[in-house]
Structure 1
């Protein structure tokens, strides 16, 4: 049974937004309690005494909420959570996808960026958008040359963090190689109820969700083709893409004087 309160609340158990059928952004909504096999349900509290009287085996700690059947049909998990895998296990997907590779980036910084050679150049105020192709850019050129699409939406704070400024500067080089990178203010992403985690979506079929530690280092990825997870990612993609701004234009907005 899905209940509104988990049986155990010891320690820090962050919530991962799964999805909502609300157009107003309030409720009903489903969340995954990370690190557990439990789902938290947000909905209207049931107060009708006639309905409550028919419930069986009710504990004092339990509460009951009402949600539409469509919410559970669309988002309720149907498969066991995938195991954490090293990112190297999915590298082949960036060459073998057939149509689209789409990324949502939500973090305020990435350890991999801070460790890259371009980071010190960025801190020194140098141009990091030009230069010789990396293995990543070479693959982007190869795949987009075949008619495939590399696309991203990056969530950006106001004002941007140092890590986000780095991505805005380096992203212009990715765009030149063939990626379509767009940006979305964090306040807008939150209003649209976009997921708060990073993922790649390949051909609207394979979802690769990232796991990070507190130092922004990638711990691994969760890979799934579960239809409910993939559908939620597709809906997030379509929403984010509709509202996001191309990188070149977004950079002008960020750097224009107030």
Structure 2
């Protein structure tokens, strides 16, 4: 391992130890390495020991973070990127430790919702129900929505409903590379979890983007939303923010799926058992 990369890793380890209130000697004892070994890994170039892959994995497991998180150089990212990275890494660690309870909306449920206006609200923050519009507002909608709206407006009908999926993430259109994408299709289960610390709910969607003609497609995209006090916030997707955040979103979606197995406890039962076992 290159010296500079090793120093980045060691600085991240020190930051996490400080954040979690763990002494170097504690982790050294836990991993059966000699006292002071972590300090020797931080010595000047030419004098430092080499950090092995096996030890890096053990340290990552002990600190409940991914190995790639330990290799992350925060100076290579913007403040917003680092905020998202820390946020998703924390959620991933909480999920591994079973301190985060994930709920799922199955894909077959979503198919039913899209066909029945009475259930549209169950799609969560990704969808918006348009109940009233006028000709001046057509420019706010993507072409495929605007054409549907026209049929109602020019018949002078004022009460109607159209489902607009992706109104926050794509809006009227989002240019990615050379293509403008206007439509979102949900292609997998939706996972959501309540974050008590910020009194908000996080939603994760697996979707596909298409252009207005349906010719160009971007598949296997994960979108993240936060909902607090009835306010919807589109956080990011796994195609605009670089490989690290893209990878972390996919990891989080996968662990949410793993935690939503049929053999899990419900949230209240889990809390009761944890309370009992802690005593």
The answer to whether the superposition gives a TM-score over 0.5 is no
| Richer in helix (by share) | 2
Q: Which has the higher contact order (CA 8 A, sep 6+)?
A: 1
TM-score, with structure 2 as normaliser: 0.29
Of structures 1 and 2, the larger Rg is shown by 2
